[in-house]
Amino acid sequence: FTARLDNQRDLPKFRAKGVEYVVHITNTEDLREVFADMLEVFKQDLAGDDFMAAKFESDNMLKAAHTPPVRAARMTAELLFKHIDKIVQSDATVLSGNFSIRLLKAWVPRGGCALENKHLEERHAFSKHYVRITNSDKRCLLRALVVACAYLQFVAKSITKQVWHTIKANSPTQTKLVAELQIEAGWSFRVDALPEAIRALNRLHPGHDFGVRVYRAEEANRCIFNLPGTEILHLHLVEQHFNVVTKLPAFFGSHHYCAKCEMAYDCNNEKHKCADACSTCKTPGSNCKANRAYCGYAKCPVCKQYDETATHECFVTPPKAKESSAPYVYYDFETYVDSGKQHRVHLVTAATSCEACPKLFPRPRCSEGQVFNFNKEYLDYCLQDTLILREGCLKYTRLIKDICGLDAFVQSNTIAGLAMAVFTTKFMEPNTLGDEGAPVQQPIRLEDALFGGRTEAFVPHAEATETVELRYRDVVSLYPTVNKFDKYPLKAESSGSPGMAEDAKAAYMASFFEREGVRLEKVEENPGLRFVAKIFLNSLWGKFCQRDDLTSTEIVDSYEAWLQRLTDPSIKVKSCEPIGESFMMLEYKPRFGGAGERAFKYANVPIGVFTTSHARLRLYEALEGLGTRGRIPLLPGEYEPPGGSSLGQWTDEVPAGCRMVQFTTGGPKLYRYVVEKPDGSLY
C-alpha cells in the first residue's frame, strides 16, 4: 500500500492530532494483512493505552465507515473490518481504488517520564507538605500511591516516623511495596487506571477505604481526577510525573482548603461560603441540613429528601418551569451535494423573532416582459421559507404560553418533551410518580407489555351503499393513571363542528361537565389546536417509556472533560470529531450497570405499559362485539361500538352531517377514505 499525508491538524488543547491520508492498496489478496501493516505505521507515535479513532471514505462507499475511539492496542484490522463491513457488505472492490482515512490520535497522561519543566514543582520541592518522587523506572504513579498511603498510616500512628521516612525515600522498602501493589493490581501506569489501583490498595489494607484526588500543575493545580473514599490520597501531576501532597492547605498556600468547591481560604469554616456547607455544623461539603437532626443524613439525588440509609423508596419531585429571555433566531440552510457526496451550504437565511418586522408574503409575481432576476428571486423565495417558519413558531409558542403558561421551546424541542414538562410542572402532585430505581424483590420485564396486539387490515376496500354505512371510529385519548393531565380540555374545546348552534354548544358543554367534571370555556372548530392536543395526549405515555439507550451528542471544551468521557465506564463513546481547535464533539450511549438504572428522570414504564394495555382492552372489547364478520360496514340491526365524545369513548371522526362513501387501506397506518359533504361535494 501507499499512504500520502493529505492533511494534518494539531489539537494541543486536547493533546490530540488529526491526520488524513490518501491510501492506495496495491495488493488486495489479503486486505486484513495489509490493514494490519498499515495500522502499525499509523500507530508508531502512540502507546498502547493512548486513544485512536478512524474514519474511511471512498467514492465507491455510500457513506463513511468509522470506528469509535478506542485504545491504540485495540485498534486492529479486525476492528476496522467489523465497521467497514457494515458499509461495504463484504464488497472488497470499494477499496480497490484510492480512499481516504482520517485518524484522530489522543495521548493520555502517564507517569514515569522525566520532567522537562522542573520549575512547575520547584515551589514545593523542599516543603514538608510535599513529597517529590524520584525514580529511575516508569512507576512514579505506583510509588506516589504507596507514599501517600504510608503518610496516612503515619498520621494514624499505624507506623512509626522512622518507617514513614524510610518509605517516602527512594528506598528498597518503597520498591518492595510498589512491586506488591503492581502485582495485586496487574495494571499499567496510566492515570485512568487509578480505580483498579485503589481497589488493589484497599485489598492490601483490609478495613480501609482509600480514595484519590489528582491535581494537575498545568491546570493551575485544579483537580482533574476524583475517586471518593473515606481516606483520600492526594497526588500532584506535573506534566507526566506524579508526586505526593500530604497537606492540601499548605500546598495551596492557605490555612484551609475546601475539596467540595475546590477553593483555598484563610477564614474560619463558619465564614467560608461553600455552596454545600451545613448551616448548623459548618462542615464544608457535608449533606447536612439546617435542622441539626439531619446532620449525617444522606441526600437522595432523585427526590432531594434526607435519609439515613439512602435506600428509601422515593418519588420524583416536580421540576421548576424553565425561563429564558434570550431572543430566538429562525434560520434555514440551502445546500447542494458536491462531488465528494458532502452537503455544502451556499445560502443561509435568518430572521429574528421581532414581531414588528414586516411580513414579506405573499410575494408579487413577475409580469410578462419583465427581466427575471434569479438571484433576487431566489433570495426572496428562501427568505419567505424562513419567515413562514417564524410565523408558525410564533403562533405555536403563543398558543402554548396562553394555555399552559410555559415557553414551548425553552421547555423542550419536541412535543413529547413539552407534554411531559406540562404534566410535571402543572399537574404532577407530590408523591405520585415513583422512582423506578427503587429496589424490588422480583423484578420483571415491564417492557414486554409494550409488544404484541398488532392490528391487520382484513377488508382492503369498501364502499357505502343505500343499505351499508361506513364508520370511522377512534378512541378519545385515555390516561386513567394521570387523569390530572386531562383537565386541560384542549381537544374537547377545539372539536366543535362548523355551524354548530349556540344552544348545541351549551348543551355539549353542560354534558361534558356532568361526565368529566371539567368546565369548558368555549367550543369552536380549531384543527391546529385539536392536532396539538391530540399529539400531547398520544405522546405523554410514550415519554414515560422513553428509551434510555439513545445516542447523546455533547460538545466539550477541555481536555479533562474529553478524557473523562473517553474513560467513563458508564457510557460507550461511538464517535468524536474536533470542531476547530477549541471544541470536541462526542456521540455516546449509556451503559447501565443494574436493573432500574435510568438516564431519563421521569421514565416510568409501569404507567406507559398500563396505558397501552388499557387501550388494547378497549380494542378487544369492540372486536368481541363485532364478532367474526371481519368487516365494519353496518347492516340494519348489527352491533357497532358505542360512540361518545368523552375521554376513553369511541368517537366518530367523520364530521356531523357528512358520510364516508369509500375506504381503502394497504395495511396498518396506511389508509385513505372519501367523505361526502351535505352539499354532495367530496373530499
| Domain-ending residue, one of 75, 107, 139 | 107
Tell me, yes or no, whether 501 lies in a domain: no
Which of the four pLDDT bands, split at 50, 70 and 90, describes residue 291?
very low
Whether residues 197 and 144 fall in one domain: yes
Q: Distance (Å, rounded) from C-alpha 59 to C-alpha 250?
A: 61
- For the chain, give percent helix, strand, coil, nearest 5: 35, 25, 45
What is the number of domains present in the chain? 4
Tell me, yes or no, whether 187 lies in a domain: yes
The residue among 437, 485, 438, 433 whose CA lies nearest residue 316 is 433
Q: CA dihedral in degrees (137, 142, 145, 149; nearest 10)?
A: -90
Position 528 scores a pLDDT of: 76
Is pLDDT at 411 greater than 80 in this prediction? yes
Which of the four pLDDT bands, split at 50, 70 and 90, describes residue 600?
low
Whether residues 58 and 140 fall in one domain: no
Domain enclosing residue 557, as ranges: 552-590
Tell me, yes or no, whether 44 lies in a domain: yes
Is pLDDT at 478 greater than 50 in this prediction? no
Position 446 scores a pLDDT of: 63
Which of the four pLDDT bands, split at 50, 70 and 90, describes residue 255?
confident
Question: Residue 670 is placed in which grid cell?
Answer: 396506511
CATH number at residue 81: 3.30.1490
Whether residues 83 and 136 fall in one domain: no
Position 88 scores a pLDDT of: 67
Least confident of 9-18, 218-227, 481-490, 499-508: 481-490
Q: Distance (Å, rounded) from C-alpha 116 to C-alpha 123?
A: 16
Mean pLDDT of 599-627: 79
| Domain-ending residue, one of 561, 590, 619 | 590
Whether residues 231 and 139 fall in one domain: yes
Residues in CB range of 157: below 8 A, 6 or more apart? none
User: What does 431-496 look like in DSSP terms, one character per residue?
Assistant: T-SB-TTS--SS---GGGGGS------S-SEEE--SS-BB--EEEPP--GGGGGGGGS-HHHHTBP
Task: Give CA angle at 369 (366, 373), nearest 5°.
Answer: 50
| Domain-ending residue, one of 72, 107, 142 | 107
Q: Sign of the CA dihedral 225, 227, 230, 234?
A: negative
Tell me, yes or no, whether 174 lies in a domain: yes
Whether residues 38 and 136 fall in one domain: no
Tell me, yes or no, whether 512 lies in a domain: no
Whether residues 181 and 80 fall in one domain: no
Tell me, yes or no, whether 239 lies in a domain: yes
Position 502 scores a pLDDT of: 83
Whether residues 138 and 47 fall in one domain: no
Which of the four pLDDT bands, split at 50, 70 and 90, describes residue 358?
low
What is the Cα gyration radius of the chain?
34
Whether residues 138 and 51 fall in one domain: no
Tell me, yes or no, whether 391 lies in a domain: yes
Q: Distance (Å, rounded) from C-alpha 426 to C-alpha 104?
A: 47
For the stretch 231-248, pLDDT in tens is: 999 999 887 889 999 988
Burial environment of residue 12 by CB neighbours within 10 A (0 to 12, 13 to 18, 19 or more): exposed
Whether residues 86 and 129 fall in one domain: no
Tell me, yes or no, whether 357 lies in a domain: no
Q: Distance (Å, rounded) from C-alpha 326 to C-alpha 422?
A: 21
Whether residues 97 and 143 fall in one domain: no
Position 487 scores a pLDDT of: 42
Which of the four pLDDT bands, split at 50, 70 and 90, describes residue 335?
very high
